[in-house]
Structure 1
């Protein structure tokens, strides 16, 4: 996409761009397919900055200096919220990356931004990484199809209930030469 700029972040500050990014995350949380109601989950301003701080990689997409997308990953062992599922997921916590967040502003979806973010993430992973794990809503069919086109495979039989909604997992094993 012409004019798209990808930038890596290690922390969020009080800059106008970073505030706009948190606002984008908040808007996406409250839009379909998520459609969280006020009070149903913590505000993005409470959980997103700490996630970025502990991430291995955070990449934002900007158009005209305005954040339009983001991608955040961290080692699955650092995430911690999936520890009880590691056996079922059949992944090595020492070498598996967890894609915690991927979002694109609804006004610019289907223009290659999510693909660019994910490609940048994959390119930046340590060489010891053997796989990337993603969790998404079980009924978010556009996201599931997107991940499949990116080389992810559904992990059959492993689901998680979170905030009253079913989640599924997809995994992309590192391609070897």
Structure 2
């Protein structure tokens, strides 16, 4: 497995099957243009097998934290340590960039995600509630 930091739209489009929806060119270019946005793709036999995206967030009383925005592994490559390796690499990027921590959210019944995050050393907080506005 080879994990690469992605900087080109072409690489994102070639890994489009890993995302929930087809990546949009405009959003991809904007994401990649911001040095606080990170996209890592794991390749197996030079084929995209999984990805993790992270966004640095900053707040006056917290400093810079890394938000693990999304994690996905192709079904054919699941249960091989790819997700854990991607999380470990994103955590390393966060440390290199001086972040004070990494955080994310997931559904409380997403057993696979929770197990993956536990293996990566995350502390789970089941008292937190996600609130969202969709447009």
Aligned to 2:111: 141
Q: Which has the larger radius of gyration?
A: 1
Select which of 6, 18, 36 maps to 1:9. Answer: 6
The alignment yields a C-alpha RMSD, in angstroms, of: 2.5
Q: TM-score, normalised by structure 2?
A: 0.79
Task: Indicate the structure with greater strand content.
Answer: 1
**Contact between 1:11 and 1:53, CA under 8 Å: does it hold in 2?**
no
CA distance in 1, matches of 2:112, 2:31: 25
Q: TM-score, normalised by structure 1?
A: 0.62
CA distance in 2, matches of 1:105, 1:24: 6
List structure 1 runs of 4+ shifted beyond 4 angstroms.
Answer: 161-164
Aligned to 1:119: 88
Is 1:18 equivalent to 2:12 in the alignment?
yes
CA distance in 2, matches of 1:44, 1:162: 22
**Contact between 1:72 and 1:102, CA under 8 Å: does it hold in 2?**
yes
Aligned-pair CA distance for 1:75? 0.9
Aligned-pair CA distance for 1:132? 0.2
Number of equivalenced pairs: 129
Q: Deviations over 1:78-103 (max 9, x none)?
A: xxxxx9xxxxxxx82x2211011111
**Contact between 1:75 and 1:97, CA under 8 Å: does it hold in 2?**
yes
Aligned-pair CA distance for 1:5? 1.3
Is 1:100 equivalent to 2:100 in the alignment?
no
